[in-house]
Structure 1
Amino acid sequence: MTFVRDLLVVLALALAWAGPLSPAVAAEPLARVRAQVAQVPLLRGEFRQEKQVAGFRNPLRSSGRFLLARDKGVVWSTLAPFPSETVITQDRILSRQRDGSRRVEVDGRQQPGLRSINAMMFALMSGDTKALTAAFDVKEETGNGKGWRMTLSPRSRQLAQAFTSVRLAGDRYVRDVELREANGDVTRLHFEAMTETPATLTRDEAARFD
């Protein structure tokens, strides 16, 4: 599974057991994080992913680009080792392969909670602490004075059977994500080359959400 699909499984479980997203206010210790993280409607960047599968010596690596549009969803474009694309919107999760074929992974008509999954995905990648506290216990960690770090722990026993923690680190943006699964697998993701401009979707970017 790709990093995005791993996260979707985790988020779907989280929302199933934690209920719908609520306007929960983050605990006061997270005020410093909230003050630093940019809450922007549009963000582009690049990613590098490494997944260490329990029992295997060499990790699985991939890299590519991403696009987050708060009103649209997330486009996750893997360039290496094999081109592919995952588009997450309020209505569906769509996979595009390098041969141009498309496959709907999740249809919103069959999965009413997809809108919340989209919102939580954006919250995780943008460091939105208010949204994250609706499904996770969030704890800020002591840093080196530059940027911030936090650990997300599952609130329910059932969710803890799927993964043990998600760690985020960053500054104005989320830079690093580490997902530790209960089966021992560990996925690490690094974001870079992030930009908020242009402030609107290009015609090509908008078409990718169709």
Structure 2
Amino acid sequence: MKRVLLALALLVNTPLTLAFGLDDLQKQLSEPAVVKGPFIQEKHLRALPQPLLSKGHFVLARDHGLLWLLQAPLRQDYRIDTQGIARRDANGWQPLPSQSAGAQQNRLFFAVLQGDSSGLQRDFELSLSGEAEHWQLRLVPRSLLLKQVFNRIDINGGRYVERIELSETQGDSTVLRMPESSGAAALSDAERSDFAD
């Protein structure tokens, strides 16, 4: 009996480590006003022996949206905000059809980078493990439409999202790495202009 009482006393007097939950992750990822950095995207296709590689830079602004600036193998700029998705051409930003597969994937990246767990929970079962410095989030599709496209989505990170892997039903996958993301208090003039146009 003494051992049980001693164990209970230790439990009562020892602060329990609080589990890192979805609300904590959302708060952590949405804290900086601006997050930016380089990205490397690998598209693994069953039909090709080597992945298709693309590189670029992203800017995620809490109050504005996401700039996805592809630099290689070709230059192409995308903007995702509350108005939808736009691609830049010689005449400025042009809206893209909101139902395209690329648009759906870009919206998903936007929700993930923002840590929008409530938005993600509408479409996915979420399971989070780890702690604030090193966490893993798995998304398993709920809807029939998403189940036809994705088996699962695995996201890893620390202070910011560092890696996203989309496993598709037909065996292809996309790996997005953002290992050098950093926070900023405000947008640069050029970035502000991109969101304003």
3-state secondary structure, aligned to 1:193: coil
- The total of aligned residue pairs comes to 175
User: Map of 1:32-181 to 2, 5 A cutoff?
Assistant: 34=25, 37-39=28-30, 40-96=32-88, 100=90, 102=92, 104-106=94-96, 121-141=109-129, 147-181=134-168
3-state secondary structure, aligned to 1:68: strand
Q: Which of the two has higher C-alpha Rg?
A: 2
3-state secondary structure, aligned to 1:164: strand
- RMSD of the alignment, in Å? 3.2
Judged with a 3 Å threshold, the aligned counterparts in structure 2 of structure 1 residues 145 and 103 are, in CA distance, closer, same or farther, namely closer
Is the 1:65–1:78 Cα contact (8 Å) retained in structure 2?
A: yes
Alpha-carbon distance in 2 for matches of 1:34, 1:165: 19
Q: Which runs of 5+ in 2 are unaligned?
A: 1-18
Higher percent of residues as helix: 2
Alpha-carbon distance in 1 for matches of 2:135, 2:161: 9
Q: Deviations over 1:36-65 (max 9, x none)?
A: 833223211110110001221111001110
Q: What TM-score do you get using the length of structure 2 for normalisation? A: 0.75
- Per the TM alignment, residue 32 of structure 1 is displaced from its structure 2 partner at its CA by 8.4
Residue 175 of structure 2 aligns to which amino acid in structure 1?
Answer: R
Q: What TM-score do you get using the length of structure 1 for normalisation? A: 0.70
Judged with a 3 Å threshold, the aligned counterparts in structure 2 of structure 1 residues 208 and 144 are, in CA distance, closer, same or farther, namely closer
Identity of aligned residues (%): 31
Alpha-carbon distance in 2 for matches of 1:92, 1:35: 22
Q: Which runs of 5+ in 1 are unaligned?
A: 1-27
